[in-house]
Structure 1
Amino acid sequence: MEGNKMIKEDNYKVFALLSNYLNHAPDFIDEEEIDDLIQTGVSHEYAFGVILAAAFGLDIVDKADEKEFFYNYFNKMIHKLDANDYYNNPYYKNIKIPAINIGNSELKYEKYKPFEGFVCNDIIQTKAGRQIPQIGFFDAEFKFPAILENDRIWMTITPNEIETMREPVDKAFGSVLTFGLGLGYYVYMVSEKDNVEGITVVESNEDVIDLFKKYILPQFKNAHKIKIIKADAFEYAQKHMAKGKYDFAFTDLWHDVSDGIDMYLKMKTYEKRSPDTVFTYWIEKSILCYL
């Protein structure tokens, strides 16, 4: 029991440290610091971790407990990503994002600075119960599509979205229902599949729908497969989902775990209305770590 308590405390500690870093100074680490360390023969990831640990006030040299904490989390947490892995993604290669404003919404490219940290995948939960966030960085500037609302980033297609949607894209088949449109990444990837007959998208934000229909959807090779319904996701799930007899459903309505838990649990209650539908949820693995 004592071990479980300590692991829970460590989980809380790493999330608290990372939350402060990602929310207030994600571009804290610079290339010069990294270069100084990798000249000693360590990897970019290790160098990044050491600098981050020092910023957190961890003494991983002289304090055994903090050294153990570092090795339990940081070694599996930090990843240097290859930009080409994402720029070669079919959406990135085939869909061009113009700089456009409609209402309070703005369509544009945002960017990560070199060595800027960001969440890059679902939380990993070890057999011992450790919950390890996944933090990525690039060694050069990386541009990604985004929708801003009132000058704040609302929807993006970053490595995190690409990685956390791999499974629901791979599993989609037949008649697909998706709650949440965003920039249409999921819809595009699923529409390219031969075993997907059609995709119904439920989205409540009219500005997002207008941006998508006018500037993004015309670039889709299989746009004819896509039907967009302007509606509240939960109202549609309650009143109309079962009538659609969908084979597969994917829900992506939240920004992150913090605002997703309640919506996830609410949407789960509607599954019994469509017993023949396979249901999936964005960042479900991360959400389940908190339940």
Structure 2
Amino acid sequence: MNRNNLLKEKIKVDNYKVFALLSNYLNHAPDFITKEEIDEIVTSGVSYEYAFVVILAAAFGLEIVDNDEDKDLFNQYIKKMIHQLDANDYYDNPYYKNIKIPTIKIGKSELKYEKYKPFEGFVCNDIIQTKEGRQIPQIGFFDKEFIFPAVLENDRIWMTITPNEIETMKDAVDGAFGNVLTFGLGLGYYAYMVSEKENVESVTIVDMNEDVIQLFKKYVLPQFKNAHKIKIIKADAFEYAQKHMSNGKYDFVFTDLWHDVSDGIDMYLKMKKVEEQHPNTVFSYWIEKSILCYL
């Protein structure tokens, strides 16, 4: 095996190792890093971000001083994937500023505010893939408590408006124009943001969850300044795409039907086949960059 192939294999192994470590951390103990630990390290003159990175690396069992392989993993991945975020950047978002979410429950769906604890880690953007093939997750944290809107299904968080949603929808918001179709309602973040654009004439939302639709219609939609642009259709996304989409003459379609990459790949590929049937329509997909890392 030549040098290039050896490097590619090593990168694949490194990618897998980082994702395994990160998955265990995010799923089981995203809030294990404490302010006290951080404060102890920053007294030496480093930033909160670097202190967070060092603690996380130690928790992953990496020997970043004496072990060359661990040091390489630290420099190539861990240091590049951790970001301290400014809460004000997100609280200044138009949706956060103008839309207030009540705590209310209809059926199995519930609207409420959830929170990230100080120094709790969470996915904050799409995976970055380097030209060498390294896949670098993007993990954020705040140094203060951060409150965000959420929809719960059967007491489990299903849909949120967090930094991750805001960052990963920016391109789809910026690109929207004309008559927009979005598959997936959630808390209406995407619909709100594109309805605020002067070059967007209408926003059609397709969702099949009646409880979520009713929560949105009663408590969220009345707060939209451009609610007159919004139309909601209760239907299965793929059934609507196959049978009715061509009747709407949509200019831009945004698909946000999945919870994360793990349940999104099959639906993404299915919708890409729909896209082939509509060459005059622009299609966009939530977390597409991350999904493409797995294809």
- For the criterion TM > 0.5, the same-fold answer is yes
- Alignment partner of 2:248 out of 239, 244, 247: 244
CA distance in structure 1 between the aligned counterparts of 2:114 and 2:10, rounded to whole angstroms: 39
Whether 1:178 aligns to 2:182 is: yes
Please list, as runs of the form range in 1=range in 2, the aligned pairs for 1:226-265 lying within 5 A after superposition.
Answer: 226-265=230-269
CA distance in structure 1 between the aligned counterparts of 2:135 and 2:42, rounded to whole angstroms: 28
Please list, as runs of the form range in 1=range in 2, the aligned pairs for 1:147-162 lying within 5 A after superposition.
Answer: 147-162=151-166
| Structure 2 counterpart of 1:77 | 81
Shift of 1:45: 1.3
Whether 1:275 aligns to 2:254 is: no
Q: How many residues align?
A: 291
Instruction: Report the identity percentage.
Output: 79
**Where does structure 1 differ by over 6 angstroms across 4 or more consecutive aligned residues?**
none
CA distance in structure 2 between the aligned counterparts of 1:41 and 1:257, rounded to whole angstroms: 38
CA distance in structure 2 between the aligned counterparts of 1:75 and 1:26, rounded to whole angstroms: 17
Aligned residues: CA RMSD: 0.6
- Alignment partner of 1:107 out of 106, 111, 117: 111
CA distance in structure 1 between the aligned counterparts of 2:41 and 2:34, rounded to whole angstroms: 12
Please list, as runs of the form range in 1=range in 2, the aligned pairs for 1:42-191 lying within 5 A after superposition.
Answer: 42-191=46-195
Whether 1:4 aligns to 2:2 is: no
| Structure 2 counterpart of 1:37 | 41
Contact 1:245 1:274 in 2 (8 A): no
CA distance in structure 2 between the aligned counterparts of 1:44 and 1:130, rounded to whole angstroms: 25
CA distance in structure 1 between the aligned counterparts of 2:43 and 2:265, rounded to whole angstroms: 43
Shift of 1:272: 2.1
Contact 1:203 1:209 in 2 (8 A): yes
User: What secondary structure, in the 3-state scheme, does the structure 2 residue paired with 1:227 have?
Assistant: strand
| Structure 2 counterpart of 1:22 | 26
Shift of 1:273: 2.0
User: What secondary structure, in the 3-state scheme, does the structure 2 residue paired with 1:144 have?
Assistant: strand
Amino acid at match of 2:77: Y
Shift of 1:75: 1.7
Shift of 1:41: 1.4
Whether 1:285 aligns to 2:281 is: no
Amino acid at match of 2:133: G
For structure 2, the residue ranges without an aligned partner over 5 or more in a row are none
Shift of 1:211: 0.2
Q: TM-score normalised to the size of structure 1?
A: 0.99
For structure 1, the residue ranges without an aligned partner over 5 or more in a row are none
Q: TM-score normalised to the size of structure 2?
A: 0.98
